Amino acid sequence: MEHLIRGIEKGRFAVFGRAGMDLFADPQGTKAENAETFRADLGGSSANICAGLCKLGMASALVTSVSDDTVGRFCTNRLRHYGVDTRYVKVLGGEYRVSLAVYESTMDDFQLCIYRNNAVDFQVTRDDVDRVDYADFGALITAGTVFAAEPSRGSTFRAFENARKAGIPVIFDIDYRPYSWPSAQVASETLTRAGEESDMIVGNDEEFGFMAGGIDKGLEKARALAASGKLVIYKMGEGGAITFARGEEIRTGIYPVTAVKPNGAGDSFIAGLLAGIAERRPLREAVLRGSACASIVVSQPGCAPAMPDARQLDDFLADHPGPTEP
């Protein structure tokens, strides 16, 4: 555990996973199917985490592949706009494409349509992960989607090995997306392995339940992983979160807001949590800062553009009642 905390405190993160383009209907409240105008910005869980970390004063580099076209260049430019290091973003030609998410900023029958045909981020190879200078970073972060297909599955496990050799901890955001996987069995086996090989695991009750073979077994699974010395964050939506660390169970609430969309909360949560730990805040406070970041993001249009900077986060915490009782 101390090894993990020391790595996070360096504030420099190598993040593995996808960058994508988000198109969200404008103005706020417009259904996508009726929209005449869409706003575009950076999307993709790992890219969102990178942007969130940079906005909070941390350093992040994204390890991924993007398509050799205008959409790939758009994503790379937006990564740079948010201050993300793009030296490990590989440009790949051919028929591979960046993911596209189309959604809206209204909770009234919210719709999210994701196009992942020939997803380019699955084309990260072992050579790609071997050229990362792991000594430059304090920790490796990965979202679970990278494990859904080859070659990125084997390449990311190779990155885990490289990180261990370099002495840096691995942080795993389960981020289970059924549509990305060939089968539930493959997903369960692979995500379980990733959890066992990680130093810190973040997921919601459904994700831990999926890994354990049933939603009712998720909490038991989280406790078992924590018992092996890992830091485990078990999120329960409106019920808050349970943090398992050093034999303790820390229960925290949430900051209620009027949501305009459900997506982006998990990415912002992990960015706020890690930034809080890097700033040497008590673990409970770091988790609550992550929860506040999640609330801020769901209350605004977009994902990466809605991620708060440090001043916005502090202002929110100063002005907002809460958190709720866990």
Domain ranges in the chain?
2-312
Q: Which helix (H) or strand (E) holds 120?
A: none
Per the prediction, the chain carries an average pLDDT of: 95
**Do residues 151 and 214 touch, judged by C-beta distance below 8 A?**
no
What whole-number percentage of the chain has pLDDT above 90?
Answer: 90
What is the pTM (predicted TM-score) of this model?
Answer: 0.96
pLDDT for 149 beyond 90 = yes
For residues 209 and 235, give the distance between their C-alpha atoms in angstroms, rounded to a whole number: 12
Tokens of 9: 């405190």
**What's the whole-number mean pLDDT along residues 67-75?**
98
Provide the pLDDT confidence category of residue 213 given band limits of 50, 70 and 90: confident
pLDDT for 96 beyond 90 = yes
pLDDT for 215 beyond 90 = no
**pLDDT tens digits along 98-139:** 999 999 999 999 999 999 989 999 999 999 999 999 999 999
Instruction: Report the pLDDT value the prediction gives residue 214, as an integer from 0 to 100.
Output: 83
- Is pLDDT larger for residue 294 or for residue 178? 294
Provide the pLDDT confidence category of residue 180 given band limits of 50, 70 and 90: confident
**pLDDT tens digits along 247-269:** 899 999 999 999 999 999 999 99
pLDDT for 54 beyond 90 = yes
pLDDT for 19 beyond 90 = yes
Q: Is 29 left (phi over 0), alpha (psi -120 to 50) or beta?
A: left
Provide the pLDDT confidence category of residue 212 given band limits of 50, 70 and 90: confident
For residues 151 and 155, give the distance between their C-alpha atoms in angstroms, rounded to a whole number: 6
Provide the pLDDT confidence category of residue 325 given band limits of 50, 70 and 90: confident
Instruction: Report the pLDDT value the prediction gives residue 36, as an integer from 0 to 100.
Output: 96
**pLDDT tens digits along 305-322:** 999 999 999 999 999 988
Domain 2-312 listed as CATH 3.40.50.261: no
For residues 221 and 205, give the distance between their C-alpha atoms in angstroms, rounded to a whole number: 10
pLDDT for 42 beyond 90 = yes
**What's the whole-number mean pLDDT along residues 228-237?**
94
What whole-number percentage of the chain has pLDDT above 70?
Answer: 100
CA distances to 47, 49, 133, 254, 261 from 302, rounded to whole Å, are 13, 14, 32, 21, 9
For residues 59 and 50, give the distance between their C-alpha atoms in angstroms, rounded to a whole number: 8
Instruction: Report the pLDDT value the prediction gives residue 86, as an integer from 0 to 100.
Output: 98
Provide the pLDDT confidence category of residue 200 given band limits of 50, 70 and 90: very high
